[in-house]
Amino acid sequence: MRSRGKKPTNTLITWRFLLVCSVVFLVFMTLVARAAFLQVIEPDKARSESDKRTVRVEKQHVQRGMIFDRNGKELAVSVPVVSVYADPKALHKSLISKVLRQARKNGEDQQALAENTVELDKRIAAYYSNDIRWRELADVLRIEPSKINSRLRDNPKRRFVYLKRQVTPAVANYIGDLRLPGIHLLDESKRYYPAGEVTAHVIGFTNIDGHGIEGIEKLYEKSLTGVEGQRTIRKDAQGREVEVLDERERVEPENIHLSIDQRIQAIAYKAVKSAVLSYKATSGSAMVVDVKTGEVLAMVNSPSFNPNNLSDAAPHKRRNRAITDLFEPGSTVKPLAILAGLDYGTIQPDSIVDTSPGWMRVGGSLVQDTRNHGKMTLREILKYSSNMGVTKVSQELPKDYFVSLYEKVGFGSDSGTGMVGESSGLFYPNRRWSDHEIAALSFGYNLAVSTAQMARFYAMLGSGGVMRPLTVLKQESIPEGERVFQQKDVEAVVHMMESVFEKGGTAQKVHVDGYRAAAKTGTSKKAAVGGYGDEYVGYIAGLAPASNPRLAVVVMINEPGGDVYYGGATAGPAFAEIVSNALRILNVAPDKDAVAYVEGKDNDA
């Protein structure tokens, strides 16, 4: 009887045991299945969630490379600045938390207030407006409070918005002390240009993100930028580094050493700016080139701009006119016509050219001088800038040969600087040339060149007939060039060009203190619709010292106002100032037979 009564109890216990085991087994299998699902079928999601909590990426920032002049003087440096940005979503969460905490202190129902969005937004706005720190933030950033409020409060779902870029460390420290929720500071760097407007067109500038926009900054963007380093690490719950997942070394940027000499650059800029203001010209440019290497020692323009403050940097001020603006060079290319005759053998250094009666018709068009000079030596042709003289010399030459020389000396091609925006000029040697077009070409019309191209041509004369590309980078050795003219012919023409500064020459009032100079002035009308207008361009291009040329200098004054517009008068004084001071800076010994010029009644030394 007792054994029969125990069976149901044993059965019940067995059933319960089996049930518990089954449940435990199902739970276990569920966990195994889930683990298998996460580890095998969809492992990426689990890894992603784990990485979000443990993996950190540390960046190793690099400063932008510096730009130096040839003597190691800083022309562009990076200075530390701080940018202020906000996280509107984090700010909104912080305000909600503070409003609810205040409600709890006042004995209100937090849950009810949180669900009442209208009342909650009203209290958030009141709490925000009563916090004086936001007005202090607006004041220190010099931004209208309404603008600050709109960036912070208009869209609480945003995660990032700049309040102000590139503030000083002092301002950043003040903002940090305010301890405002959702406001963060980001370390950055800002480009600073110590020379300001003096080197603005050469160096260029960067945008607010540090990317080169103009000049050297853009030309060598990759070299100046470098590559940031990066370390990917895993941290534990206490923030300790436990594993390095990936590490990339940063690539330091290069420093650029220019051929520019800051001292000569400053002298040239002062001289050109003074000439532009004195003669009420639209603009002016100048270049100084080392004839032995092709290095550009100075490249200036006026008007210029301050690259440290672009608020007044209008587009016409930012243009590097020395390489972009084109003009018909006028009489500054007349030495090439004389050189062509000597090179081809149709004339000799002591040849006489009869320019009587001072005018003639070529191809139905008139070529004339200001007066009848009669028989002239080659030296006198350059001294008095005779259109008749160079026309008669060019008429004795084959057209193809004469035109090819202009192409050979660099007209119609880049000067070699590689600068952003450089123009190759306007010259089409392969077209048919009429007799009058050849004549006009000999005295600087029917082609358009830049100041840089003219500087390259005169550097060729200074090097004795060796053509080299111009460069804005400092050269450690003398680059090879291409000989385009015999040295004896070039030296003969350079000696003839000294006559320009003699009495009766086109630059007789211009004297280079302490040095012999050889130059050629030029004045050309500016082309306009249907022909030529009433505006002029004044040029002077030359070499110094003439006994052993070291520098080629070209000065251009565009559209001088008033009655004085000839190149010798407008550009000549700037040329003399640049040459004499630059040669002293380079420790070039003065010529023994050259004396300081004292102006007298007749402007004779």
End-to-end Cα spacing for the chain? 152
Contact 500, 521 (CB under 8 A): yes
Nearest of 322, 284, 184 to residue 575 by alpha carbon:
284
- The 10 Å CB-count burial string (b at 16+, else e) for 508-544 is bbbbbbbbbbbbbbbbbbeeeeeeeeebbbbbbbbbb
**Helix or strand or coil: residue 536?**
strand
Q: DSSP alpha helices (H): ranges in 109-160? A: 110-115, 117-130, 133-141, 145-153
Q: Are 539 and 287 in contact (CB under 8 A)?
A: no
Task: Please say whether the beta carbons of 296 and 289 come within 8 A.
Answer: yes
Provide the token pair at 587: 């420790």
3-state helix, strand, coil in the chain (%, to 5): 40, 20, 35
Contact partners, residue 222, CB within 8 Å, separation at least 6: none
Distance CA 557, CA 279 (A): 9
479 preceded by a cis bond (ω within 30 of 0): no
What is the layout of strands, in order, in the sheet containing 531-544? 296-302, 283-290, 551-558, 531-544, 518-528
Burial 349-370 (b: 16+ CB within 10 A, else e): beeebebeebebebeeeebbbe
DSSP 206: B
Backbone angles phi, psi at 459, to 5 degrees: -65, -35
Query: Which of 78, 83, 304, 331 is the catalytic position?
Result: 331
Amino acid occupying residue 28:
F
Give bridge partners of residue 387 from the DSSP assignment: none
Its sign, for the CA torsion 268, 271, 275, 278, is positive
- 228 touches 213 (CB < 8 A): no
* Burial annotation 15-53 (CB, 10 A radius, 16+ → b, else e): eeeeeeeeeeeeeeeeeeeeeeeeeeeeeeeeeeeeeee
CA–CA distance, 587 with 577 (Å, rounded to integer): 16
Does 311 qualify as catalytic in the annotation? no
Query: How would you classify the pairing of strands 375-377 and 352-354?
Result: antiparallel
Closest CA to 544 of 484, 509, 488, 589: 589
* Contact between 76 and 191 (Cβ < 8 Å): yes
Angle among Cα 265, 271, 274 to the nearest 5 degrees reads 135
The catalytic site residues sit at: 331
